[in-house]
Structure 1
Amino acid sequence: MKKLLGLVLLMLILISATKFASPKPDTIHSIEGTWELQSFYSFDGQNITDTIEKSEGYRQVKMYSKGKIMWTRYVPDDPNGRFGYGSYKITENSLVEVIEYGDDGMMKALDTMRNFTFELILKEDTFSQITLDDEGNRTSSENYKRID
């Protein structure tokens, strides 16, 4: 009986030590889901200098699922829609999109660039993908709201 009591006491000590020694890591919000563009920001290198609202009828939607991204854009004055498909990964403060294919305009752009890296500000129902210049200064952002 003493051995059993000692064993139970030892197990309780180990369990409680594990609980205190292993705090839960901070979780980041998930970007998985469907998002619609709300606005654009211009920056002076670090701070927002201007907010540009979408024009009437303009829609841009991004869908992230299981490491894949698909985006589409509709501009009323442009009879050809825009779209792209590829993969993505996020870290605590970055978003990397690798576009594999898209519409004709996107395919021409992919000849020069396929990897798009952004600073990421991700919250539960909003995110901003911020474009940085070669020196790491903020230049512009696209700002999205979760729609699903």
Structure 2
Amino acid sequence: MYTVILYAHILSAALSIGPFFVLVLLVKRIREADTQYLSGLIATFRSAIRLVMHAGHVLVATGVLLIWQGPWSWHSPWILMTLAVMFSSVFFLARAFSPVLKKFAEPEADHPALAETLQRSLWIYILLLLLMLWFMVDKPTLWQ
């Protein structure tokens, strides 16, 4: 059973990180899109964020099960650091995308500036996710 949970954890990690790299390319299209295509691109962006969110829920649930079933303590430095980054990234994710995506619907919205904000938020979030991934893969001993 542990192997199945580990597989689900790794798969959900890939689904939590992978779409963001596609979104980087999508933001370039959003920046240059005509008004008639913009709503479809924004809908695609929202769908990808929804996928990432649900994959993140699976990632957390399977992570808890792996710690419970595995040899690690909740006090392991890499687990504590992963949790710290994860909780901070949850607040970042809530503010980084939805409010900006809603602004695209405003009549006088500056689409290139909003796309730039999305691009910056994407890269920040990707870096946070990669930091958590490093903690989970390398399991560094940051303190004793």
Give the structure-1-normalised TM-score.
0.20
| Bigger radius of gyration among the two | 1
Identify, as 1 or 2, the structure richer in strand: 1
TM-score norm. by structure 2 comes to 0.20
Give the structure, 1 or 2, with the largest relative contact order (CA under 8 Å, sep 6 or more). Answer: 2
Structure with the higher fraction of residues in helix conformation: 2
